[in-house]
Structures are given as C-alpha cells and as structure tokens.
C-alpha cells in the first residue's frame, strides 16, 4: 500500500472516505503532536488506545443509548474496578493526561461513580486538610478505601457562598460541630457522586461559634456506613434524578438533621477552631482562587475535544453520505461538496484548533503564574483569572453551537442516538453552566476590563496587565487587512484589537456615564451589563485569535504550517465577518474590505476541503472513544446503522406489549362495532 500522509487509511475502508484521506497534504501523526502538545503524548495516546483495543473486557458490552441509567452505572462500575486493578499496565498512573484519555476511551464522557473523587475530593483534602488530617483521610482517599465528593451548592443557592443555608454550629461542651439543614432550599444539591456512590464528602457550611457567623468553611463529613454503605443517622441523601446528560454520574442531594461531627473534622490547613471555640484566622482570604483557574484552564481543552468529536463524526459522514446533485448530468454527490455544508463545518474545525491551542497556552500561563506566586509575585493572577473566566464562557458557548451545527449537518441520522451527537452535546453544553454560569463569568471578566479601561482613561496605561495592554494603544485610522501579503496576520490582529478596545471603552463609558447621571454603582453596572458582556466576548475572541497566530508562527514542519495557516485564514475571516458590526460602525473596516473578507472566507473553505478529513482524523479519536456509528473510521455507516437498529431494545419482540394490551384491542373493537 502507498505510504499516505493520513495515517488513518486502512484496506477495506469505504472508498469515498479513503479518497478524502488520500488528498491530505500533511502527516496526521505530526498534527496530533501539535494538538496534544507533544509527540510523546500523542504517541502514548495511540499506544493506550491499542492496549484497550486488545482488552475486550474494557469495551462497552452494548451501546450506551440502549442502557437505562442503572445499567450504565453498573457497566461503568464494572470497568472502574478493572481500570483500578490494571491501571499500571495501561497508563502511567500519575500522568493526568493519560488518565484523561483512558477514562474517555473506557468509561466515556457521561461520567462515572468516582469522577468527583479524583477531580474534587482529593484536591479539596490536599488543599484544605492539615497534615495530620491528610494522614488520616487523604491516604485512604488515594487508595480508594473511601469514596468522596465535594458538596457546596444548595437547592436554592449557587455561587453566592455567603448565602448558603447549611450551618455548622460549634458545641463547646462536646467539642463537636452540629451540621444542620434549616430549610428545603438549604439542601446540598448537584454535587456529583453525592447521591449514591460516596461515603464521605467535604461539605461547605456556614460556621457558627457562640452565636457568631464566621462564614463558609469546609468540613470532612462521613455520609454512609463504611461497611453497609447505608446512610448514617441524621443524613438525608439521594440522587437528584435524570439530567440532559452525565447520567452515569449520581448528582445528589444531602440534608443534615442536627448531625454531629468532631471538632477536628473542620479542615484546618488554613483555619483553626480551638477546643474552647477560639477561632484562628486564615492568613490569606482568597486561598482557593487558583483552583478555579486550574479547572477552567483544563475545561477549555476538554471542550475543544468534545467539539472535535462532533466535527470528526460530521466530516467523515459528509464524505460518505451522497445526496442530491450539483450537476444534474452527474450522479449524487457527497454532501461535503456543498458550500453550505463546508460553511457549517470548516469554521468550527478552525475554532476547535484555535480552542485547543488557546487552552494549551492558558495551562502554560497558569503554570508560570503558579511559579511566580510561589515567589510572592501575584501580579498576573488577576489577569489570568479574568482570562479564564472569559475563555470558559466563550469556548463552551461556541462548542455547544458547533456540536449542534455538526449534528444538523448529518441530517436525519444525526438525530438518531446512533450518531451519539446528542449525548456529546448534552455533556458539552453543561460546560455553559457548571464552574460558573457563562453570563456571570463574562461579567467577572468585565469587571477586570472596566478597571483596565479606567486606567486608560486616567492616563495610567502603563499599569495595564499584559493581557490588556492593547487597550492603551492607539488605533490606526483604518484597517489594512486587504493590503498586506496574505501570509501576515498582524493586520487582522490589529483589527480585532481595535474592535475589542472600542467596545470595552464604550461599554465602560456607558457604565461611568450612568453613575455620573446619578445612578448607584450596582444599578449602573446592571444597566450596562449586556454591553459589558459584549466587550468580554470580543476581548476573549481576540485572545483566541492571538493564541492561534502565535502557535502557527511556532510550527516548524512546512506541511503542517501550510494547512494550519489556511485554517487560520479561515478563522480570522470567519470571526471578523461574524463581528463585523463592530468593525463597520466607526469605519475602521470598509464595505469593500468586508467583501474582501467574504471572498477570503469562501476561498479558504474550498482550499481546506482536501484536508478536511485529515484535519479531524488528526485528533485521533478511536471508534471506542467516539461511540458513533456515523463517525466510524472505516466509513461503513449504513450496514452498521442497520445492525445497531436491529440490536436496539424495542426490537427484542416483534409485537410490543403495548400493542397486545392496547392497540390490537382498539382495532378489534373498531372492527367489531362495524359488524
């Protein structure tokens, strides 16, 4: 067989799909190294995939869409046991990237019974338990002797921690905290794996000592008997019921009825309560700031991966699906031939690459900031926090949009759960709400932008953080995007900077102006919030473009550089057209320049076409991981759709019980009444 650049080609594949792969101009393994930030990790991903492929006990026993929640949880628990047992044979257990890949392949994206144990419980103990407490609990948690989660949000209360209702009242006499849920709205609600799996939780409650409210604190709380797993006395606990997705995770509720825990269960790394009730303050107020930044940085990569799942499925299927004619003298064409289809998919392929590059940069930035914080320099933390708030919001929004576009691009079969698209959407779109609701996140970034705008307006631009330094720069009078060599992106970046700067300063003006007219600050803020959020989005999208540009500049391999440059061209023109109102408004971009942008957009749609399948193949998702009949690597869609349908639960019997019980009698009585 000829040696192709696209490494996904196999004998016996659907020739329509192979034809698309043969036209690929770059090595997909090398591109995977770009996507996953190192040749080593990209290779390890493939090796892990191969090991899993050879172990049938790690495969799904049947398609997820055919299982009830109970069956999915049982299946997931079975695999979790196996993974725990054989982890060392498959991955380097301390490598979180390898663990992430193993989980995605074997357990899938719908959650599992110990998801929060690793993501929240262990980190919470690590960050907040004293050394003595860690010896007692952390070791047991790491060994999986106990299963835990982190319980913060309540039925009636989200991010506003001061307003939580769960109380922990110190009883000096017994040296115990009494946990109590005073109302239904004070029930802990939503924590993953709280409902059924966990026997411990780190619980956030308002701490009261001698009548004084010391605000939210964290406590290590036993929930269930370690032997029987029955809920302990004084604990009301259960699953909150089915959700859009993530149904393998038992999100739970938790109520306390004057439930007592020892004083020493208050997590005491940064704070302390003496036996007599004396409170010892934590040294820093915002000790947990960086944990949020950490989670959000990694979320961006996770979202990019889910977007790419959907794009892989849709792009492959579009190469196999033939429908309609462009030239009526010719046979039906692949739907990927249609410009409307390319316009649905390719700009999102570009976004997925942009997101994963921006995510990698953010993780790196986070690591740098952590080092600086260790040396006492916290200057960049605020910038980074603002940036990740915006990225989390913008990336999760476009990811959800892109998955839906990809699903609809698959026509009717995209609507079938055989595509797995709706599950991918359901999981990904959760990212718009968890870890900070998107509107709230954008407003957090806006607060930072308004502060920065205020520096600009008071002539203190030199004090601007590096991520907002452009706010203090002077704009050119007009954009030059159509007058530079097509290989340079500097004029595009300038244009995006101009747009973000103008909207930021304008929205800040609105806010300041309302206060000058006599509105109270919070009212002025609320009245400006839609315009402020627009500024936050534009600022974030500028950062994403810049990260994409920086990455492309770094790439050495000329074949990769060429296709990534095409993708970046597509990206900047698509984004600019999408936000062109802001560019046109003050004449920075002219009408004829916008026509140029459109021409470029359509030019690059066509130019990317021969690489489209290779660009999605480069993410190297196995069929096991994708779980999609439409997205199969081999392109043999139709026979497998038929096999999938025949295996679905409703086809176990030819005549449904509902037909015997209701439909047949209905028809029979109609026939009889006629006689």
Restricting to residues 247-276, name those near a second copy by CB under 8 A. 250, 253
* CB 368 to a second copy: min, Å: 32
Q: What is the residue whose two structure tokens read 């709230």?
A: 440
* CB 544 to a second copy: min, Å: 21
Q: Could you say which residues in the range 343-402 bind a second copy, by CB under 8 A?
A: 343-344, 400
For residue 382, the SS3 value is helix
DSSP 273-320: E-TT--EE--S-S-TTHHHHHHHHHHHHHHHHHHHHHHHHHHHHHHTT
* CB 75 to a second copy: min, Å: 9
167-171/212-222 β-pairing: unpaired
Residue 190 engages a second copy in binding (rule: CB under 8 A): yes
Q: What is d(CA 502, CA 528) in angstroms, rounded to the nearest whole number?
A: 15
Give which of 397, 240, 407 is closest to 315, Cα–Cα: 407
200-209/259-262 β-pairing: unpaired
Both tokens of 144, joined, read: 């999986």
192 is in an annotated binding site: yes
Residue 520 engages a second copy in binding (rule: CB under 8 A): yes
Nearer to a second copy, 152 or 622 (CB): 152
Nearer to a second copy, 203 or 237 (CB): 237
Q: What is the residue whose two structure tokens read 């500024």?
A: 535
Report the 10 Å Cβ neighbour count for 572.
Answer: 25
Nearer to a second copy, 40 or 667 (CB): 667
402 is in an annotated binding site: no
Residue 196 engages a second copy in binding (rule: CB under 8 A): yes
Q: Could you say which residues in the range 554-593 bind a second copy, by CB under 8 A?
A: 577, 580-581, 584-586, 591
Residue 294 engages a second copy in binding (rule: CB under 8 A): no
Total residues at the site for a second copy (CB under 8 A)?
Answer: 140
* CB 153 to a second copy: min, Å: 7
Residue 322 engages a second copy in binding (rule: CB under 8 A): yes
Nearer to a second copy, 474 or 674 (CB): 674
Give which of 401, 325, 374, 305 is closest to 35, Cα–Cα: 305
For residue 147, the SS3 value is coil
Q: What is d(CA 157, CA 446) in angstroms, rounded to the nearest whole number?
A: 23
Nearer to a second copy, 360 or 605 (CB): 605
Q: What is d(CA 374, CA 351) in angstroms, rounded to the nearest whole number?
A: 34
Q: Which of 38, 61, 81, 486 binds a second copy (CB under 8 A)?
A: 81
* CB 389 to a second copy: min, Å: 14
Residue 477 engages a second copy in binding (rule: CB under 8 A): no
Q: Which of 19, 40, 469, 523 binds a second copy (CB under 8 A)?
A: 523
Q: What is d(CA 334, CA 344) in angstroms, rounded to the nearest whole number?
A: 15
Nearer to a second copy, 102 or 266 (CB): 102
Residue 323 engages a second copy in binding (rule: CB under 8 A): yes
167-171/200-209 β-pairing: parallel
- Using CB under 8 A as the criterion, what x/- string covers residues 46-75 for binding a second copy? -------------------xx-xxx--xx-
Q: Could you say which residues in the range 102-161 bind a second copy, by CB under 8 A?
A: 113-114, 143-147, 153, 155-160
* CB 36 to a second copy: min, Å: 30
Determine contact, residues 634/12, Cβ cutoff 8 Å: yes
User: 597 Cβ partners below 8 Å, 6+ apart?
Assistant: 481, 573, 576, 577, 580, 589
Give the phi and the psi of residue 32 in degrees, each rounded to 5. Answer: -60, -35
* CB 432 to a second copy: min, Å: 6
Nearer to a second copy, 272 or 636 (CB): 636
Residue 278 engages a second copy in binding (rule: CB under 8 A): no
User: 261 Cβ partners below 8 Å, 6+ apart?
Assistant: 176, 177, 179, 219, 220, 221, 222
- Is 435 one of the catalytic residues? yes
- From 154, 361, 435, 546, the catalytic residue: 435
Q: Give CA angle at 612 (609, 615), nearest 5°.
A: 150
Q: Would you list which residues are annotated within the binding site for FAD?
A: 153, 192
Q: Would you list which residues are annotated within the binding site?
A: 153, 192
Active site positions, annotated:
435
């Amino acid at each position: 067989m000829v040696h192709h650049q696209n490494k996904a080609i196999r004998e016996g594949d659907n020739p329509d799909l192979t034809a698309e792969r043969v036209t690929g101009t770059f090595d997909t393994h090398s591109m995977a190294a770009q996507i996953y930030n190192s040749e080593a990790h990209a290779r390890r991903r493939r090796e892990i995939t191969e090991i899993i492929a050879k172990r049938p006990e790690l495969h799904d026993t049947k398609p997820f869409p055919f299982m009830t929640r109970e069956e999915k949880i049982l299946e997931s628990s079975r695999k979790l046991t196996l993974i725990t047992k054989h982890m060392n044979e498959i991955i380097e257990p301390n490598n979180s990237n390898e663990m992430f890949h193993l989980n995605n392949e074997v357990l899938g994206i719908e959650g599992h019974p110990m998801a929060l144990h690793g993501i929240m419980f262990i980190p919470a103990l690590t960050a907040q338990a004293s050394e003595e407490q860690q010896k007692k609990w952390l070791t047991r948690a790491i060994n999986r002797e106990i299963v835990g989660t982190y319980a913060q949000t309540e039925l009636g209360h989200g991010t506003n921690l001061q307003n939580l209702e769960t109380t922990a009242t110190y009883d000096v006499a017994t040296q115990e905290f009494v946990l109590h849920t005073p109302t239904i709205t004070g029930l802990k609600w939503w924590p993953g794996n709280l409902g059924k799996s966990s026997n411990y939780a780190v619980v956030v409650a308002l701490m009261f000592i001698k009548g004084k409210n010391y605000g939210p604190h964290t406590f290590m709380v036993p929930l269930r008997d370690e032997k029987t797993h029955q809920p302990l006395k004084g604990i009301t606990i259960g699953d909150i019921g089915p959700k859009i997705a993530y149904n393998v995770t038992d999100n739970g509720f938790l109520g306390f009825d004057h439930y007592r825990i020892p004083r020493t269960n208050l997590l005491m790394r940064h704070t302390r309560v003496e036996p007599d009730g004396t409170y010892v303050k934590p040294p820093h107020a915002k000790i947990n700031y960086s944990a949020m930044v950490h989670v959000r940085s990694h979320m961006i990569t996770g979202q990019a991966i889910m977007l790419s799942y959907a794009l892989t499925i849709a792009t492959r299927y579009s190469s196999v699906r033939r429908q309609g004619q462009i030239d009526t003298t010719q046979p039906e064409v692949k739907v990927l031939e249609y410009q409307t289809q390319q316009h649905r998919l390719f700009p999102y392929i570009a976004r997925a690459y942009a997101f994963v590059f921006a995510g990698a940069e953010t993780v790196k930035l986070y690591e740098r900031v952590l080092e600086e914080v260790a040396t006492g320099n916290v200057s960049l933390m605020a910038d980074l926090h603002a940036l990740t708030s915006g990225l989390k919001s913008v990336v999760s929004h476009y990811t959800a949009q892109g998955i839906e576009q990809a699903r609809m691009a698959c026509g009717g079969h995209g609507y079938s759960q055989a595509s797995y698209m709706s599950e991918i959407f359901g999981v990904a779109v959760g990212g718009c709400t968890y870890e900070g609701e998107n509107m709230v996140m954008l407003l957090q970034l806006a607060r930072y932008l308004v502060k920065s705008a205020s520096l600009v307006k008071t002539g203190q631009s030199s004090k601007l953080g590096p991520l907002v330094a452009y706010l203090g720069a002077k704009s050119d009078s007009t954009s030059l995007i159509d007058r530079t060599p097509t290989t340079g992106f500097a004029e595009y970046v300038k244009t995006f900077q101009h747009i973000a700067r103008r909207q930021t300063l304008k929205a800040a003006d609105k806010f300041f102006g309302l206060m000058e007219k006599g509105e109270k600050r919070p009212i002025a803020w609320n009245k400006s919030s839609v315009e402020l959020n627009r500024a936050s989005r534009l600022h974030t999208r500028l950062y994403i473009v810049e990260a994409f540009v920086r990455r492309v500049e770094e790439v050495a391999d000329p074949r990769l550089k060429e296709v990534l440059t095409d993708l970046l061209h597509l990206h900047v023109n698509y984004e600019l057209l999408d936000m062109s109102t802001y560019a046109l408004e003050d004449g920075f971009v002219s009408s004829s320049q916008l026509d140029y942008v459109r021409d470029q957009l359509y030019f690059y749609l066509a130019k990317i076409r021969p690489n489209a399948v290779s660009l999605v193949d480069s993410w190297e998702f196995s069929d096991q991981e994708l779980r999609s009949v439409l997205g199969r690597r081999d392109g043999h869609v139709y026979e497998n759709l038929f096999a999938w349908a025949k295996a679905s639960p409703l086809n176990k019997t030819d005549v449904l019980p509902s037909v015997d019980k209701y439909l047949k009698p209905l028809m029979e009585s109609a026939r009889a009444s006629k006689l």
